[in-house]
């Protein structure tokens, strides 16, 4: 069964077919359930995390074992943790953009990309669950992208103000490092705040990175990671994007993140998955299909429109595949609908050369819409011209989603993936 739900409709020529095969290999490599089953081993007494450096935990030492799942990998991860630990698990909560029935872990669906009172309520339930933990308790935490909004407890700030600040920074093109630095200093639980609430229990944090450079302190704003940023850093970012002027002073109070080393002594953070897993699998598949494949970067960043155009105008290399991972930004114009991957593909479309194809997708299957992203090639451009659809006009109003919807081609659909390791890009040449 295909991961890409509209694969058959899109695979109208050999280059498209190969690109979709390569993309599916990447998606399969970051499947949360498969990753966790490889990384966590349990023999009935000892829990072993195989990620280097590997560590083992004798569960007979602990009186209680809790699970906290945060972000877009939380629900799929919770299913695996339940299966592995069985009756050894005391209690657990998973907050995700999707949910379903679980035996012991409570599954909740929160809002994303912006936080809400629902998210705050679930976060408070998590803190209630671990209240009073001791050094005889073990807490397994799964941290993944999307957690900054889903796992949310603002410090002396209304949810409306937090949403306004988040939305303004995003629309003005702030990158994830800037955005999450600000979030940390308006939060009780991010930037190591959860580690403080968990102290003195033993914490094992399994991190699925969706940020450039795999800075684990930025994934979901680093709830279990010692934070190196400060209130001054957050204030400078708000000044840079002229956001402070929109804040009501009494409703915009910074909080310094926990800096005392004792809160992190019992915390072990493991990076268990990143876009490198996907890119390596995509490279292998491309080579199997006869392409000369290269991973150019795992940390692509910058303006989506500019990057799309530059990729399309690159010098073609016969029978080659260029792979990239990262996360671009979009400065929103107009009132259109779309996401950064659809914007990148649409920006590339007018500049695509014959016998070349570009794919730009989100690894979680949700590019701010029900499209995971899109592809761009000459075939799509000709279809758009036949329907009198101008890529440039749609770009002017940041309406990439409706362009692909109206042209009835190019959009890639997977549904919610339960994985999240930043965005994936393919340039394929015949």
Q: Is the predicted pLDDT of residue 213 greater than 80, yes or no?
A: yes
Note whether 260 and 328 are same-domain residues: no
**pLDDT tens-digit profile of 95-131?**
999 999 999 999 999 999 999 999 999 999 999 999 9
Looking at residue 128, its pLDDT comes to: 98
Note whether 88 and 40 are same-domain residues: yes
Looking at residue 171, its pLDDT comes to: 86
Instruction: Give SS3 for 411.
Output: strand
pLDDT mean across residues, the chain: 95
Q: Give the span between the Cα atoms of 34 and 13, in whole angstroms.
A: 31
**pLDDT tens-digit profile of 371-387?**
999 999 999 999 999 99
- Largest interatomic CA distance in the chain: 69
Note whether 183 and 241 are same-domain residues: yes
Looking at residue 13, its pLDDT comes to: 98
Q: Give the span between the Cα atoms of 145 and 365, in whole angstroms.
A: 13
Domain boundary among 273, 299, 316: 273
In a domain, 2, yes or no: no
Q: Would you say the C-alpha torsion 209, 111, 404, 310 has a positive or negative sign?
A: negative
CATH number at residue 379: 3.40.1480.10
Q: Which residues of 154-166 are buried (b: 16+ CB within 10 A; e: fewer)?
A: beebebebbbebb
- Mean pLDDT (whole number) for 345-362: 98
pLDDT band of residue 341 (cuts 50, 70, 90) is very high
Looking at residue 243, its pLDDT comes to: 87
Query: Nearest-CA neighbor of 272 among 341, 207, 316, 217?
Result: 207
Note whether 191 and 332 are same-domain residues: no
Q: Is the predicted pLDDT of residue 361 greater than 70, yes or no?
A: yes
Helix (H) or strand (E) holding 276: helix 275-288
Note whether 410 and 287 are same-domain residues: yes
Q: Give the span between the Cα atoms of 377 and 339, in whole angstroms.
A: 19
**pLDDT tens-digit profile of 285-328?**
999 999 999 999 999 999 999 999 999 999 999 999 999 999 99
Note whether 222 and 110 are same-domain residues: yes
Note whether 166 and 85 are same-domain residues: yes
Which structural domain range is residue 425 located in?
Answer: 7-29+276-429
Q: Give the span between the Cα atoms of 175 and 141, in whole angstroms.
A: 25
Looking at residue 251, its pLDDT comes to: 66
Domain boundary among 228, 249, 273: 273
- Mean pLDDT (whole number) for 221-228: 98
Note whether 361 and 425 are same-domain residues: yes
Stated pTM of the model? 0.92
**pLDDT tens-digit profile of 237-295?**
999 999 876 665 566 789 999 999 999 999 999 999 999 999 999 999 999 999 999 99
Looking at residue 110, its pLDDT comes to: 98
- Mean pLDDT (whole number) for 346-357: 98
In a domain, 1, yes or no: no
Please count the structural domains in the chain.
2
Note whether 183 and 261 are same-domain residues: yes
Beta bridge partners of 292: 320
- Mean pLDDT (whole number) for 19-24: 98
The two three-digit tokens of residue 216, written as one number: 């684990």
**pLDDT tens-digit profile of 150-162?**
999 999 999 999 9
**pLDDT tens-digit profile of 180-196?**
999 999 999 999 999 99
> How far is the CA of 142 from the CAs of 163, 239, 377, 409, in angstroms?
24, 33, 38, 36
pLDDT band of residue 51 (cuts 50, 70, 90) is confident
Domain boundary among 227, 256, 273: 273
Q: To the nearest whole percent, how much of the chain has pLDDT over 90?
A: 91
Looking at residue 249, its pLDDT comes to: 56
Note whether 221 and 114 are same-domain residues: yes
Instruction: Give SS3 for 259.
Output: coil
């Amino acid at each position: 069964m295909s991961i890409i739900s509209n694969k058959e409709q899109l695979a109208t020529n050999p280059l498209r077919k190969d690109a979709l095969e390569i993309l599916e290999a990447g998606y399969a490599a970051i499947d949360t359930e498969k990753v966790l089953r490889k990384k966590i081993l349990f023999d009935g007494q000892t829990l072993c995390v195989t990620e280097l450096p590997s560590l083992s935990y004798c569960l007979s030492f602990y009186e209680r074992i809790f699970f906290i799942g945060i972000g877009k990998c939380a629900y799929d991860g919770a299913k695996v943790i339940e299966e592995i630990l069985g009756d050894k698990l005391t209690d657990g909560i998973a907050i995700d953009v999707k949910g379903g029935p679980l035996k012991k872990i409570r599954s909740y669906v929160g809002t994303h990309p912006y936080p809400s009172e629902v998210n705050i309520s679930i976060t408070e339930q998590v803190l209630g669950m671990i209240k009073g933990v001791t050094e005889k308790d073990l807490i397994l935490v799964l941290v993944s992208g999307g957690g900054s909004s889903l796992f949310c407890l603002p410090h002396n700030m209304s949810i409306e103000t937090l949403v306004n600040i988040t939305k303004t920074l995003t629309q003005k093109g702030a990158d994830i490092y800037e955005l999450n630095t600000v979030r940390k200093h308006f939060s009780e639980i991010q930037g190591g705040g959860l580690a403080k609430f968990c102290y003195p229990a033993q914490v094992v944090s399994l991190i699925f990175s969706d940020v450039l450079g795999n800075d684990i302190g930025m994934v979901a704003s680093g709830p279990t990671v010692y934070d190196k940023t400060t209130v001054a850093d957050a204030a400078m970012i708000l000044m840079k994007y002229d956001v402070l002027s929109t804040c009501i002073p009494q409703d915009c109070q910074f909080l310094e993140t926990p800096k005392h080393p004792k809160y992190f002594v019992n915390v072990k953070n493991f990076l268990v998955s990143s876009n490198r897993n996907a890119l390596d699998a995509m490279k292998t598949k491309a080579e199997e299909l006869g392409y000369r494949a290269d991973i150019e970067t795992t940390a692509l960043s910058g303006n989506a429109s500019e990057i799309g155009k530059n990729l399309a105008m690159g010098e073609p290399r016969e029978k080659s595949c260029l792979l990239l991972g990262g996360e671009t930004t979009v400065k929103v114009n107009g009132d259109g609908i779309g996401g950064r991957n659809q914007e990148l593909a649409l920006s590339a479309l007018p500049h695509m050369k014959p016998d070349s194809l570009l794919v730009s997708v989100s690894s979680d299957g949700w590019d701010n819409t029900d499209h995971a992203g899109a592809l761009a090639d000459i075939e799509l451009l000709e279809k758009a011209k036949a329907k009198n659809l101008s890529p440039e006009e749609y770009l002017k109003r940041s309406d990439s989603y409706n362009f692909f919807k109206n042209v009835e081609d190019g959009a890639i659909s997977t549904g919610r993936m339960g994985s999240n390791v930043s965005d994936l890009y393919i340039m394929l040449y015949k």
